[in-house]
């Protein structure tokens, strides 16, 4: 008897794998503008990155809601997944780096001013992590629905804001100017927040969930910075110091992001910890 005789082959009235994933739509999205072989690589790398970012937003929004409601263990799973997704995007830059400068120049002109700089999902992730900018919003004024979606993320508390609120709810003394700050502005280092995290790190057993939350946030930012770095080096490898198609300074703009920290106190506290 053939052990595979039970495999289902009649799909006249049932859903197939392709139907479930809507592959007929997904695999028809690669509309190339040039006749160059390597444009397919360029398009698929960026499309798959956008799919991963969609999942990142899905996990990040749920993690923030879990932190707000005090369900930290649920947030840990989502934040771990968020970090692992970034490892996949980092590896995608390694694939894109097989594109040589000469090959890219054969179809770069077809992009016009289209650029990854305009990725609205990437901007949403930045907003949720605390990097806020009204200048960025101007890019999306041609699409009112999308602009409104981005404004909601821009005006919302970041994951660090809700994590600091969790510290406050746990009884730590957080300066009122932090708790009531304008969340539309980038977060700035605050001494009372560092002191709270320091107490968490000095009393791990007592504040285990908050300690775990802190480490998940550090892990998230670590991976995010690696993502930024691989992006910057891939761009440098392929186009050098040319301006980006969207008008940014390219590599120089990307390098600036490497100096930015979303959760400054969580990095500072490592220097403050002493052997006990």
Tell me the binding residues for substrate: 42-46, 104, 108, 245
Alpha-carbon distance of 255 to 244, in angstroms, equals 13
- Look up tokens 């106190």; give the residue: 265
82 close to 56: Cβ distance less than 8 angstroms: yes
Alpha-carbon distance of 53 to 50, in angstroms, equals 5
Alpha-carbon distance of 75 to 62, in angstroms, equals 7
Q: Which residue positions form the known binding site for heme?
A: 231
Q: Which residue positions form the known binding site?
A: 42-46, 104, 108, 231, 245
Contacts by 267-273, CB closer than 8 A, 24 or more apart: 267/218, 268/189, 268/194, 269/194, 269/197, 269/198, 269/201, 272/194, 272/198, 273/198, 273/201, 273/202
């Amino acid at each position: 008897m053939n052990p595979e005789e039970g495999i289902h082959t009649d799909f006249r009235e049932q859903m197939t794998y392709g139907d479930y994933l809507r592959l007929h739509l997904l695999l028809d999205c690669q509309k190339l503008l040039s006749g160059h072989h390597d444009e397919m690589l360029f398009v698929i790398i960026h499309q798959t990155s956008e799919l991963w970012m969609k999942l990142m937003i899905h996990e990040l929004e749920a993690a923030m809601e879990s932190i707000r409601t005090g369900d930290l263990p649920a947030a840990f799973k989502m934040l771990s997944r968020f970090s692992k997704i970034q490892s996949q995007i980092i590896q995608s830059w390694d694939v894109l780096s097989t594109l040589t400068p000469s090959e890219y120049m054969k179809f770069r002109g077809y992009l016009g001013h289209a650029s990854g700089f305009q990725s609205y999902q990437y901007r949403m992730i930045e907003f949720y992590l605390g990097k806020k900018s009204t200048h960025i919003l101007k890019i999306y004024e041609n699409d009112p629905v999308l602009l409104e979606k981005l404004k909601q993320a821009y005006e919302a508390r970041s994951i660090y804001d809700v994590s600091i609120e969790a510290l406050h709810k746990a009884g730590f003394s957080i300066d009122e100017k932090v708790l009531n700050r304008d969340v539309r502005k980038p977060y700035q280092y605050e001494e009372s927040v560092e002191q709270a995290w320091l107490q968490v790190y000095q009393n791990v057993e007592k504040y285990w969930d908050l300690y775990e939350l802190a480490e998940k946030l550090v892990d998230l930012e670590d991976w995010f910075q690696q993502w930024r770095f691989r992006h910057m080096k891939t761009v440098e490898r392929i186009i050098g110091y040319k301006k980006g198609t969207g008008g940014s300074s390219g590599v120089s703009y990307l390098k600036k992001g490497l100096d930015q920290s979303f959760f400054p106190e969580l990095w500072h506290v490592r220097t403050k910890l002493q052997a006990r």
